[in-house]
Amino acid sequence: MKKGKSSSAVSRPPAENGRSAPQSVALFTIAYYWVPVIAYCLLIFLQSAYPAISQTPDLPYMDKIAHGCIYAVLGFLCFRALRTLPMGNRTLLIFCFSMLLSTLYGISDEIHQLFVVSRTAEIMDAAADMLGSILGAGAAWWWYKKSDA
């Protein structure tokens, strides 16, 4: 080892709670940024595991609007969480990954509904999921661009 260079095997002093500072930061990052994504995906999965609601408001395209709103939230949460990964300042890449991740989850949810009694998979629901994912990730991009300035 060269003089003046630190080794990764060097132990760091523990933080006040007994954990090393990087470990505490990693646990906070997972809890604060990634647990909401996982919890929201679980909520979507559980909701779509039950039979469809028989009565909905009699508004045109209400089902598609609901899909879009649900996946807009997921797109926002994915963008928020993906910002914690070491991708540098590549906001377009983070946007694309968050849109892709939430859209693929929407498609997998439509496939999941094929196996649920009284549910069907619809290509237009998947399209609404994708549009919502794009809008949610775009809203997050705008939000963080505004707050980082």
Could you tell me the sign of the dihedral formed by the alpha carbons of 139, 143, 148, 149, in that order? positive
Residue 13's pLDDT is 43
The confidence band for 10, taking pLDDT boundaries of 50, 70 and 90, is very low
Closest by CA to 106, choosing from 33, 31, 36, 40, is 40
How far is C-alpha 130 from the geometric centre of its chain's CA atoms? Answer: 13
Work out the number of other CB atoms within 10 angstroms of the CB of residue 47: 11
Tell me how many domains the chain contains: 1
Q: What span, in angstroms and rounded, lies between the C-alpha atoms of 144 and 69?
A: 20
In a domain, 29, yes or no: no
User: Beta partners for 14?
Assistant: 20
In a domain, 31, yes or no: no
Residue 56 pLDDT greater than 80, yes or no: no
In a domain, 6, yes or no: no
In a domain, 3, yes or no: no
Residue 7 pLDDT greater than 80, yes or no: no
Residue 112, burial from CB neighbour count under 10 angstroms (0-12, 13-18, 19+):
middle
In a domain, 73, yes or no: yes
Per the structure, the complete domain to which residue 101 belongs is given by 65-149
Task: Summarize pLDDT for 112-146 with one digit per residue, the tens.
Answer: 999 998 888 999 999 999 999 999 999 999 998 88
In a domain, 148, yes or no: yes
Residue 20's pLDDT is 60
Q: What span, in angstroms and rounded, lies between the C-alpha atoms of 33 and 82?
A: 8
Angle CA 7–13–14, to nearest 5? 130
In a domain, 126, yes or no: yes
